Structure 1
Amino acid sequence: MRKWSPLIAVCLGTFLLLVDVTIVVVALPTVGDEFRAGYADLQWVLDGYALALAALLLGAGSLADRYGRRRTYLAGIGLFAFSSLLCAIAPNEQALIAARILQGAGGAAMFATTAALLNVTYQGRDRGTAFGIWGAVNGAAAAAGPLAGGLLTEHFGWRWIFLVNLPVCLAAVWFTVRGVTESKAPSGGRFDLPGTISFTVAAGAWTYALIRAGEAGWTDTLALAAFAAGALASIAFLAAERRSDHPMLDLALFRQPSFAVLIVAAFLTQAAAFGYLPFTTVWLQQVLGNGPVDAGLYGALPMAAASLVVGAAAGRLLQRVAPRWTVGLGLLLIAAGDLLQARLDADSSGAALIPGLILVGLGVGSVLPSLSSAVLGAVPRERSGMAGGALNTFRQLGFALGVAVFGTIFANRVSDGHGQPAAFADGLNAMLTVAAVLAVIAALLVLAVVPSRDAGVGSRGRDALEPAGR
């Protein structure tokens, strides 16, 4: 049992931080009713977490390399537990959003160290077993989130979504202290403070600008100021990374066309496959009158289940196919699934979403594992940690900005239709159509740029895959 204590510790933390990305989705209408919160506030309950997770992930990896991965992981668990308690007792939406941002910071410290801890703990066949189980936990978190959130919200109240994190965090700490040894990078990584600050400001400003524009109009002073701040912070980030001797994201990696296109594909995949789910949940509950459990069953479980089936049944086969095909064709499946859902009207039921969600799930199950392998195989072995961190960062950023963009579209259509059922359906159809376009753009880029190979992961990619948690 002691041999597998590090794996248990890492899997518990990974499950928590990933399930909390989606577990809140079906609770949003209930939270909105209790706090009398609008769409913009509900978007920030999701985006606050995802943005903090994305913005701090690479910086947390640098801190872990310098000060110790075990220490950073334990600090992340402690912060995640504390912020989960703050979420559970939040008296209003502002306090909940602030606690979710703090929770995302804890999640970043955990996520940045998980795979690195496994990589230094296990060798040979044990390492392969550990990474296989860890990968399965990643997929299970996506499937469990909406359903667990629905069950807890409907039967115990939405605050229990966060309270259940506390005993799991305690268990993760116990297994970490008991079985995980400390490790650091041989040279001791440096923390890229200018890069971290500028990237965080840029991501937050762009997201705020999109949400504010959807709420107050595209000519709103605050929205325009936020767009300007986002642009300036983005320029500052690029300048900081070019000048830094130890950048958290080496911009030279983007000179490799395959790497650059695959990162863009990861960003657009998260938006096209997941960014609209919070708003289908609002439709299912506020318009159709479904409870949180039914909203989870209709609105997310078909996708998650289909994705898991693909991963379990065809995971090894997918790794033998060139990423150009698994990622490119998988994205086309996501686009087809989005369009299949975009046929709603005032009389549609939740069941109308299921066929399209299954198609999206099949695409996600093909795209995400192949993306990881392809990104890590496209860079030198010594850059695998940074490449893996960049992949996870842009995936979470794609979700956060996707929610912001789709929220703007949805709110405008619902407002124009005075909140009638047909207006909700029209808003969902518009979002899903845009999502399909994004998936098609990503697919065409991948099919045009990523080269064909006999295998999805070369020897360099297999070596790089293991330390991908940075």
Structure 2
Amino acid sequence: MSAEAAVDSQAENGPAAGRARSWTLALASVAMFMLMLDVTVVNVALQDLRTSLGADFSDLQWVIDSYTLTLAAFLLTGGSLADRLGRKRVFNAGLVLFTLSSLAAGLAQDVLALNIARGVQGIGAAVLFSVGPALIGYEFRGADRGKAFGVFGGVAGLALAFGPLVGGFLTDALSWRWIFLINVPIGVAALAVGALRLRESREPAAHGVDWPGILTFGLGLTLLVLGFLRAESSGWTSAPIVGAFAGGLALLVAFVLIERARGERAMFDLSLMRTPTFTGVCLATLLSNATSLAAVFLQISYVQNVLGYSPWQTGLRFMPMMITLFIVAAVTGGLLAKVAPGVLIGLSIGLIAVGMGLMVLVGPGDGWTAMLPSMIVTGIGMGLFNPPRAAVTIGVVRPEKAGMASGMGETFQQVGVAVGVAAFGALFHQKVVDAFVDSAAGTALAGQAEAVGQHVATGGTSGLADAVAPSVLDQVTTTARSVFVDSLADVMVVCAVIAAVGAAIAFVLIRRRDLHESAQSESPAPTPKPATA
């Protein structure tokens, strides 16, 4: 059967357009739920994982880094392949990969096997991250698209809301392994629904897979992100880090030259960067995620390592922020047709900046409730951000190019997370160590001060009794808590300033008139077009 006949047959025998839209939204939302849940459940389980597998601090970093690295590197590839090979086909392949790698991670017997599984899991997640919004964008139009992305964003917010709680419960009640194994039954059910209920769609004028583009972009981005992730431990001027940055930049330059030469056959339409709205939403996404997710990771470290709460207790204390995020995300979809997208996105990032700045209200002697103003305002901003971001990212292109646009937008999002957590984590680490060494307690410890400062930066006040003599324990603990909280506040202010820049970019560059007509009209979703043979 020819490619044209195959697609025609699917369009005729597949689910009706109305039912397909509902199933598409449900399936993309379930996949997003799994992915966003996986972002938060891991962090609260790291200490138990370290004990179970005998992992050191570097190993624990790789539990997060291996996932983030492959996720960032394959996002654009996943979206581009979906446009060419078929979004249903690629989405289901991503589900298979994510589900099987989750099973492997849950059954891992050592930290190396876990990190390899996490790397493969990141590839599957990249496909789902990039193709899910494209599937929604192809099926929905106009105001309906805004409502669909409101539901999509609300589900993502729900996963973020319950992620720390679910991770804490599974870790405390069962085992850290279940934070991965829980994906398996969900993935199997989603795969069955995807095979039976999704309609196939692809770029009608596809020119085949852009292997030169895929290789140069994937390897270049991998080297850049790896440089940021490893620079703190290896040294910013060390030969491996300088080589990673130089090699990554060289490969990305080669990618741009290759894409320009390939023209219509390219995996990324470079002309999109000449559209102010697309450039604006990508830059705003990068700065927002780099700051907000780094802030959440550092706040979780504070609640666990300084305030001394368990994973389950930590999850409970982040519920005000996450429930706020969920509620706001759920109602934001209805605003997309009424409020200019630049205003929505700029306001959301502005609120995130204010929320992070409010961390200066937290003092060394305060309990977790001192974080509530920061949590609530940040939660409002984060909930307001994702629905318009996803809609605008694919709204600047015709529906057939949605996979490529979505992949690029998600790439900026995940690179922001990877670079932000690494860069702001390194800044926080250095500030804590320097402040502790220069303190009276650091002076009293003499040559031991640097090592204890490193311990405080990574573990807060926990375990200090094993690191210092009893005679100075009280002084060291008080100083450790003070430098940890003060350094956290300083880094949050830096994050707030950078996020404010992202808000200004959104206000200035994102414009409704740059959106494709399919993002502005009330027209129904089209019947999938036949692909060329």
TM-score range, shorter chain: 0.7 to 0.9
Q: Is the 8 A contact 2:148 2:333 kept in 1?
A: no
Q: For the Cα contact (< 8 Å) 2:291–2:499, is it kept in 1?
A: yes
Query: Is 1:31 aligned with 2:49?
Result: yes
Alpha-carbon contact 2:146-2:337 (below 8 Å) kept: no
3-state SS, counterpart of residue 204 of structure 2: coil
Moved more, 342-351 or 137-146: 342-351
Deviation at 1:160, TM superposition (A): 0.6
Retained in 1: the 8 A contact 2:390–2:406?
yes
Q: State the partner residue of 2:501.
A: 441
Paired with 2:524 and 2:102, the residues of 1 have a C-alpha distance of: 30
Which of 347, 354, 360 is matched with 2:372 structurally?
354
Q: Distance in 1 between matches of 2:494 and 2:138?
A: 43
C-alpha distance in structure 2 between counterparts of 1:11 and 1:407, whole Å: 31
Q: Give deviations 1:125-149, integer Å, cap 9, x for gaps.
A: 9988766544432332222222211
Aligned with residue 277 of structure 1, among 296, 321, 336: 296
- Provide the C-alpha distance between the structure 1 equivalents of 2:402 and 2:127, rounded to a whole number of angstroms: 18
Q: Deviations over 1:223-260 (max 9, x none)?
A: 22222222222222222222223222222111122321
Deviates more, 1:372-381 or 1:385-394: 372-381
Distance 2:88 2:235 in 1: 46
1:111 Cα offset (Å): 3.2
Q: CA deviation at 1:262?
A: 1.7
1:198-347 equivalence runs, <5 A: 198-245=216-263, 246-299=265-318, 301-347=319-365
Q: Does 1:424 align with 2:484?
A: yes
SS of alignment partner, residue 289 of structure 1: coil
Q: 1:384, 1:342 → 2: CA distance?
A: 41
Q: CA deviation at 1:33?
A: 4.1
Paired letter, 1:428: L
- What is the alpha-carbon distance in structure 1 between the residues aligned to residue 25 and residue 358 of structure 2? 40
1:114 aligns with 2:172: no
Residue 407 (1) aligns with residue 407 (2): no
Aligned-pair distance for 1:289?
Answer: 1.3
Task: Name the SS of the counterpart of 2:218 in structure 1.
Answer: helix
Query: Aligned pair 1:19/2:79, yes or no?
Result: no
For residues 207-226 of structure 1, the C-alpha deviation after alignment (integer angstroms, 9 at most, x for no partner) is 22223221233233322222
CA contact (8 A) 1:87 1:100 kept: yes
How big is each residue's C-alpha offset from its partner over 1:352-375, in whole Å with a ceiling of 9 and x where there is no partner?
A: 222102111111222222223334
> 2 CA distance for matches of 1:406 and 1:123?
39
User: 1:73 maps to which residue?
Assistant: 91
1:53 equivalenced with 2:57 (yes/no)? no
Contact 2:229/2:418 (CA < 8 Å) preserved in 1? no
Q: Cα–Cα, structure 1 residues 462 and 47, in superposed 2: closer, same or farther, change >3 Å?
A: farther
Query: How far apart in 1 are the matches of 2:29 and 2:210?
Result: 28
Counterpart of 1:96 in structure 2 is 114
Aligned AA (2:488): L
Residue 450 of structure 2 is matched in structure 1 by: none
What SS does the aligned partner of 1:143 have?
helix
The one-letter code matched in structure 1 to 2:196 is: R
The CA distance in 2 between the partners of 1:163 and 1:241, in whole Å, is 40
Higher deviation after alignment, 130-139 or 347-356: 130-139
1:110 positional shift: 2.7
SS at match of 1:267: helix
Distance 1:258 1:399 in 2: 21
Cα deviation code 1:250-301 (max 9, x no counterpart):
22111122321221001111112112322322222222210102212334x3
> Who wins on radius of gyration, i.e. which is larger?
2
1:64 is the counterpart of 2:82: yes
Would you say how many aligned residue pairs link Structure 1 and Structure 2? Answer: 463
Which moves more between the two structures, 406-415 or 391-400?
406-415
CA separation in 2, counterparts of 1:284 and 1:345? Answer: 13
Letter in 1 for 2:230: R
1:278-336 Cα offsets, whole Å, 9 max, x none, are 2322222222210102212334x333222222233454235412223222222221111
Residues 212 and 222, structure 1, Cα contact 8 Å, conserved in 2:
no
2-side partners of 1:274 and 1:12: how far apart? Answer: 22
Matching residue of 2:468: none
Which deviates further from its counterpart, 397-406 or 7-16? Answer: 7-16
Q: Which residue identity does 1:169 align to in structure 2?
A: G
Instruction: Letter of the 1:271 partner, please give it.
Output: A
Decide whether aligned partners of structure 1 residues 62 and 44 sit closer, same or farther in structure 2, where only a CA change above 3 A counts. same
Q: Partners of 1:395 and 1:369 in 2: how far apart?
A: 13
**Distance (whole Å) between structure 2 residues aligned to residue 456 and residue 304 of structure 1:** 32
Question: 1:177 maps to which residue?
Answer: 195
Query: Is contact 1:49-1:104 (8 Å) kept?
Result: yes
Alignment match of 2:519 (pick from 461, 464, 469): 461
Q: Conserved in 1, the CA contact under 8 Å of 2:393 and 2:406?
A: yes
- Do the aligned residues in 2 keep the contact of 1:215 with 1:411 (CA within 8 Å)? no
**Distance in 2 of aligned mates of 1:210 and 1:447:** 29
Return closer, same or farther for 1:422/1:216 CA change in 2, 3 Å cut-off: farther
Q: Any conservation in 2 of the 1:5–1:180 contact (CA below 8 Å)?
A: yes
**Alpha-carbon distance in structure 2 between the residues aligned to 1:275 and 1:9:** 29
After superposition, the C-alpha distances for 1:76-97 in whole angstroms (9 at most, x for unaligned) are: 1221121112211223333322
Q: Distance in 2 between matches of 1:241 and 1:279?
A: 38
TM superposition shift of 1:423:
3.3
Q: Is the 8 A contact 1:284 1:350 kept in 2?
A: yes
Q: Percent identity?
A: 37
Which letter maps to 2:183?
N
In 1: Cα distance, 2:225 partner to 2:524 partner: 32
* Aligned alpha-carbon RMSD (Å): 3.1
Q: Which moved more, 1:359-368 or 1:384-393?
A: 384-393
Shift in alpha-carbon separation, 1:200–1:407, aligned structure 2, 3 A: farther
